[in-house]
Structure 1
């Protein structure tokens, strides 16, 4: 059996875990389809244009290589312009903006980069429950 790191003891489940388990258990028994929204894992088809663009992108060599770990500079510059337009502050795309594979990866990256063990972290209420566990995983106290 794989031994889990001690830091995992602070990572608790949250309500959506119970909803997901109930949905997984209910759908086969009831014989009715259950639309799973807790993790956006649906059986809805992709729009044809999105599927075609994805397939076309797979055939493009630059789309099939490792990007810089901080993300494409043109995309970071676009994010800088977007936030400057809306928030009135321009972040440096070369030093202050990182593109991640998704929001949850970004939240974990931020927590691991900024939170030291036993740091107290202010969390809004309500909040995304997954963020609380990311703070705990980084050693922080939500």
Structure 2
């Protein structure tokens, strides 16, 4: 993968050796979370329902609700999308984008991206074996 600007800036920040310089691209710090967050996390780890794998596609109620929200916000008819076949819940937006790119693209396919764009999208396109093409 081609290094990206944010990595170069992070590496440069690391060379300063200054504890007051925080790497915010991943919020990778030595600062402890608030005590309440630590207690809540500890309780959740001990709760089997909170630390087991979720259904692969996401909880049915969440998938149905997400689909209904997209239909409502997009002024689409109710039932336009079938949440059972056309909706999955991912760990985050970029995870969902990568899953989609890996499922749809073949090596050498071209993907149109705006310029400028988030560099993480460029690397995800490349990871899927595709070629990013930019438009302004």
In structure 1, runs of 5+ residues without a counterpart are 1-10
Quote the residue 1:19 is aligned against.
9
Secondary structure of the equivalent of 2:85?
A: coil
Counterpart CA distance in 1 for 2:46 and 2:60 is: 22
Q: Does 1:108 align with 2:95?
A: no
- Identify unmatched segments of 5+ residues in structure 2: none
Equivalent of 2:74, from 63, 87, 111? 87
**Match runs of 1:53-132 below 5 Å:** 53-89=40-76, 90-132=80-122
TM superposition score normalised by structure 1:
0.75
Alpha-carbon separation, structure 2, partners of 1:88 and 1:56: 41
Separation (CA, whole Å) in 2 of partners of 1:65 and 1:93? 23
Tell me how far apart the structure 1 counterparts of residues 20 and 128 of structure 2 sit (CA, whole Å): 38
Change in CA separation of 1:44 and 1:85 when aligned onto 2, cut-off 3 Å: farther
Q: How far 1:17 moved relative to its partner?
A: 1.0
Per-residue deviation, residues 34-56 of structure 1 (Å, max 9, x unmatched): 122112334363483x5554444
Q: Taking CA–CA contacts closer than 8 Å with sequence separation of 6 or more, which of the two structures ends up with the larger relative contact order? A: 1
Change in CA separation of 1:32 and 1:64 when aligned onto 2, cut-off 3 Å: closer
Whole-angstrom CA distance in 1 between matches of 2:26 and 2:45: 25
- Distance of 1:47 and 1:97 partners within structure 2: 37
Task: Find the aligned partners of 1:65 and 1:32 in 2 and give their Cα distance.
Answer: 36
Judge which range, 100-109 or 129-138, deviates more: 100-109
TM-score when normalising by structure 2: 0.78
More strand by share: 2
Count of matched residue pairs = 128
Q: How far apart, CA to CA, are the structure 1 residues paired with 2:125 and 2:40?
A: 37
